[in-house]
Amino acid sequence: MSSQLAEKIRELKAERNAVILAHNYQPGEVQDIADFTGDSLALSVRAAQTDADVIVFCGVRFMAETAAILSPGKIVLLPDKNAGCPLADMITAGQLKDLKQKHTGAVVVCYVNSSAEVKAESDYCCTSSNAVEIVESLPRDVEIIFVPDQHLGQFVSERTGRKMILWPGYCITHAAITEDDIKNARAAHPDAIVMAHPECTEPVKVLSDQILSTGQMLKFARQSEAKKFIVATETGIIHTLKKENPGKEFFAASSRAVCPNMKRITLEKVLWSLEDMHYKITVPEEIRTRAKNALDRMVAVLPAK
């Protein structure tokens, strides 16, 4: 059944001159039919570069919005219109404007997990793979506002030695991974390396060996001599980790770390989105051009590893 679906998707994709981009947290079968899978930064770069007419974005709304901001001439489709991001919804443009008024002259860095309106109010956008480099590139004497993820912000602050004004947002899926989960996983697999995403809480990160974005986790696992890994992020990435590393073992730090929004996308919905050309994601031009400035600065700064 799923191979028939995949075949139909491939046919329609060619007819529409479409490209399918999928985030590393997508269900395995969706990652498998994608033309390109990656982390938030790699997907943004790819969305900006593609010469397809249509981008089917298998991820959540802010990712499709990012593609629409970077590729205004293209049709960007999100296969499920309700695939949102609770973290992105934790700050509005109005709240950010209020914060900027309290700290006039501060540089605003927003995590890519944010709405187009919040990006439009920001100076720089970043992802978990280049946030450290972006903050490091800022002059030492400026105040920095970092929104909306407090845990990524805390990690960047620690790595760069820069004090930042943090917004108290967080990812509900990463917050589900607890210290006990890491301790129990380590007890069960004492010789495993623990890889944690910077969206995890600080106590979880303190207990981990490597703090990495999803793209960095894939690279690290490929290059490492280790044979066992505990993965403290959304469990969808384990599909590709296993596929790319047949001789290695990967264990989810917590089976609760499943993003309900990422899992809204299914093969059926990808097919329907190509058949009906829905759900089109657009950004008003005035917001788009301002948000693009912040994104252009992000895409220009590549991560060190």
Q: If phi over 0 gives left and psi between -120 and 50 gives alpha, with beta otherwise, what is residue 21?
A: beta
Question: How many alpha carbons fall within 13 Å on the CB side of residue 201?
Answer: 13
Site size toward ligand 13P (CB under 6 A) is 13
Please give the Cα distance from 196 to 85 (Å, whole number). 20
Contact 295, 44 (CB under 8 A): yes
Which position among 66, 128, 130, 240 is part of the footprint of ligand 13P (CB under 6 A)? 128
Candidate ranges 5-13, 124-132, 263-271, 288-296; the one touching ligand 13P (CB under 6 A)? 124-132
What would you report as the CA-atom Rg of the chain, rounded to the nearest whole angstrom?
19
Q: What residue has token string 């788009």? A: 288
Please give the Cα distance from 76 to 163 (Å, whole number). 37
Residue 66 interacting with ligand 13P (CB under 6 A): no
Q: Which of residues 149-188 bind ligand 13P (CB under 6 A)?
A: 171
Residue 208 interacting with ligand 13P (CB under 6 A): no
Which position among 18, 19, 24, 229 is part of the footprint of ligand 13P (CB under 6 A)? 24
CB atoms within 10 A of CB 189: 15
- Cβ 127 to ligand 13P shortest distance, Å: 4
- Cβ 261 to ligand 13P shortest distance, Å: 9
Which position among 26, 31, 113, 266 is part of the footprint of ligand 13P (CB under 6 A)? 113
Q: Which of residues 262-301 bind ligand 13P (CB under 6 A)?
A: none
Q: What residue has token string 């219109």? A: 81
Binding site for ligand 13P (CB under 6 A): 24, 39-41, 113, 127-129, 171, 197, 199, 213-214
